[in-house]
């Protein structure tokens, strides 16, 4: 059974069909990249999985649970990393990590906190600094450390690489691969074709709420993926 499963899922906002009969599955140990332009339905998909929205039709399951029925149980197993990580700017990296880990039911000591931040790629010199002094890439790494601390079975990411420099983006994608290799099901919503091809096992192309294509990342090179993506976006 897939950790993340959406079958025949539709969602409408007024006259806008945000999702139309979406079929999507992500297994434990897999990174799935959902590609699409703004308004394609990527964020709607994540919000359905988080239980913030209810589908108009179809079936949504996370670890076999319907988020619309028991959102708290679903969120307990999810780590969510948005484009802008909502952390506390007046707290340090360690303090933010310990606070959010406590919300998830884990009490972290200083040594364990530092090891998690180090594993997420954050330089030790930054651990005790206020988040207000961090770059976006550094904040994203704290978000990844929180996911590691939570031991989440599901990791959802909404454009987490937007605005990152190439070095930071490369580090974050490596961490996503490590999360999947540790047994998590990772769903990455992005429009970054290069990084999607770099980190994902499978790639789906979403346009106007419909999945237009799905492929194994290993079966296509970057140029072919770009050509396929543009073909669907222009159709």
Residues 170, 227 within the same domain: yes
Q: Give the end of a domain, one of 151, 173, 190.
A: 151
Domain assignment present for 82: no
Q: Looking at residue 61, which CATH number applies to its domain?
A: 3.40.50.300
Domain assignment present for 52: yes
The domain containing residue 184 runs over which residues? 4-77+153-234
Instruction: Please give the residue that has the higher pLDDT: either 170 or 9.
Output: 9
Report the domain count for the chain: 2
**pLDDT at 1 > cutoff 70:** no
Residues 49, 38 within the same domain: yes
**pLDDT at 172 > cutoff 70:** yes
Distances (CA, A) of 150 to 30, 143, 212, 213: 18, 11, 34, 33
- What is the pairing mode between strands 16-26 and 4-13? antiparallel
Domain assignment present for 206: yes
Q: pTM to 2 decimals?
A: 0.88
Instruction: Please give the residue that has the higher pLDDT: either 83 or 112.
Output: 112
């Amino acid at each position: 059974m897939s950790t993340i499963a959406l079958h025949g899922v539709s969602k409408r906002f007024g006259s806008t069909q945000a999702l139309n009969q979406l079929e999507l599955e992500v297994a434990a140990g897999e990174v799935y990249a959902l590609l699409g332009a703004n308004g394609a339905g990527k964020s709607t998909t994540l919000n359905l999985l988080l239980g913030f929205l209810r589908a108009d039709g179809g079936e949504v399951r996370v670890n076999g649970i319907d988020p619309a029925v028991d959102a708290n149980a679903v969120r307990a197993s999810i780590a969510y990393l948005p484009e802008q990580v909502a952390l506390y700017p007046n707290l340090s990296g360690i303090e933010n990590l310990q606070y959010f880990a406590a919300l998830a039911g884990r009490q972290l000591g200083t040594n364990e906190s530092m090891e998690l931040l180090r594993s997420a790629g954050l330089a030790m010199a930054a651990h005790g600094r206020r988040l207000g002094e961090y770059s976006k890439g550094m904040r994203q790494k704290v978000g990844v450390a929180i996911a590691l601390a939570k031991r989440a079975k599901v990791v959802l990411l909404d454009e987490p690489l937007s605005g990152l420099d190439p070095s930071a983006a490369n580090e974050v994608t490596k961490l996503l691969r490590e999360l999947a290799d540790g047994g998590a099901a990772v769903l990455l919503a992005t429009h970054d074709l290069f990084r999607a091809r770099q980190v994902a096992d499978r790639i789906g192309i979403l346009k106007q709420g419909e999945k237009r294509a799905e492929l194994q990342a290993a079966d296509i090179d970057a140029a072919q993926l770009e050509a396929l993506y543009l073909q669907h976006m222009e159709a």
